[in-house]
């Protein structure tokens, strides 16, 4: 049996965290994700990765917040400078080197500052620890704006032991979909592997489908865009 799931028509009307209900129940012994159409509409800087912790000389920890969105080198530099200016007590300038892909942060305010490695945005910024206090600081690593590289398809109700995420064994992962298009495009994927995943023999009345970032295991926020998936169920 083929089961077509379009999050636009989810019972709970949530396109990113859809729940699908089956009036007569759906029997499942084995399942396979046959295909998927997913808009690459999530942000590469979101509410989990937009905070920069820093200190100015004599200050407690300050928090600069980037506006969630899709960033590249230039608008990232501008966003960081604006966020540091708003949270701190002096003006900051941020430059992005297109060759090394590293950020340089400086201030003419005179107070040495430190960018903290514990920042949620550390991976994005290229931090590997706290920076040395100074008024002109180049971050040690290139920026990382790649965002999600692979989607994990999780359906909580389809219990299986074929695919396990270490430390998150309860996620019930059915498949992994590599990201092969840029932000703003639509990913169209067909599964070339004919193998089915064994599930607990059961009749289910609903499915909660989640598309997870394979690195963070967080649900991808599609920002109002819907996705479609086709399951083969036997």
Q: Give the model's pLDDT for residue 55.
A: 97
For residue 111, the cross-strand partners are none
d(CA 2, CA 33) in angstroms, rounded, equals 10
d(CA 109, CA 116) in angstroms, rounded, equals 19
Q: Give the model's pLDDT for residue 182.
A: 87
Rounded to two decimals, the pTM is: 0.83
Architecture of domain 2-42+148-233: Sandwich (2.60)
Q: Give the model's pLDDT for residue 170.
A: 65
Length of the chain: 234
Q: Give the model's pLDDT for residue 202.
A: 81
How would you write the chain as a 3-class SS string? CEEEEEHHHCCCCCCCCCEEEEEEEEEEEEEEEEEEEEECCCCCECCCCCEEEEEECCCCCEEEECCCECCCHHHHHHHHHHHHHHHCCCCEEEEECCCCCCEEEEECCCCCEEECCCCCCHHHHCCCCCCCCECEEECCCCCCCCCCCEEEEEECCCCCCCCCCCCCHHHCEEEEEECCCCCCCEEEEECCCCCCEEEEEEEEEEEEEEEEECCCCCECCCCCCCCEEEEEEC
Structural contact between residues 125 and 53, judged by C-beta atoms closer than 8 angstroms: no
Structure tokens at 74: 């230039």
Q: Please list the pLDDT of the chain residue by residue as tens digits (234 residues).
A: 999 999 999 999 999 999 999 998 888 888 999 999 999 999 999 999 999 999 999 889 999 999 999 998 889 999 999 999 999 999 999 999 999 999 999 999 999 999 999 999 999 999 999 999 999 999 999 999 988 899 999 998 876 655 656 656 567 888 999 999 988 899 999 999 998 888 878 888 999 999 999 988 899 999 999 999 999 998
Domain spans of the chain?
2-42+148-233, 51-138
């Amino acid at each position: 049996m083929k089961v077509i799931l379009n999050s636009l028509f989810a019972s709970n009307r949530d396109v990113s965290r859809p729940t699908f209900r089956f009036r007569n129940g759906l029997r499942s012994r084995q399942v396979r994700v046959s295909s998927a159409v997913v808009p690459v509409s999530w942000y590469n800087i979101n509410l989990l990765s937009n905070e920069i912790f820093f200190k100015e000389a004599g200050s407690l920890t300050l928090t600069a917040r980037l506006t969630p969105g899709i960033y590249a080198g230039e608008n990232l530099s501008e966003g960081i400078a604006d966020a540091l200016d708003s949270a701190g007590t002096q003006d900051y300038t941020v430059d992005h080197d297109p060759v090394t892909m590293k950020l340089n942060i400086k201030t003419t305010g005179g107070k040495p500052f430190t960018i903290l490695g514990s920042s949620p945005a550390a991976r994005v910024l290229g931090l590997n620890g706290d920076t040395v206090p100074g008024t002109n600081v180049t971050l040690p690593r290139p920026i990382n704006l790649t965002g999600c590289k692979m989607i994990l398809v999780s359906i909580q109700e389809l219990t299986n032991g074929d695919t396990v995420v270490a430390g998150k064994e309860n996620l019930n992962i059915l498949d992994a979909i590599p990201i092969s298009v840029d932000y703003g495009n639509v990913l169209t994927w067909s599964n070339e592997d004919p193998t089915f995943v064994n599930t607990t023999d059961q009749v289910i009345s609903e499915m909660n489908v989640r598309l997870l970032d394979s690195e963070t295991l967080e649900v991808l926020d599609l920002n109002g865009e819907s996705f479609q998936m086709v399951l083969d169920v036997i």
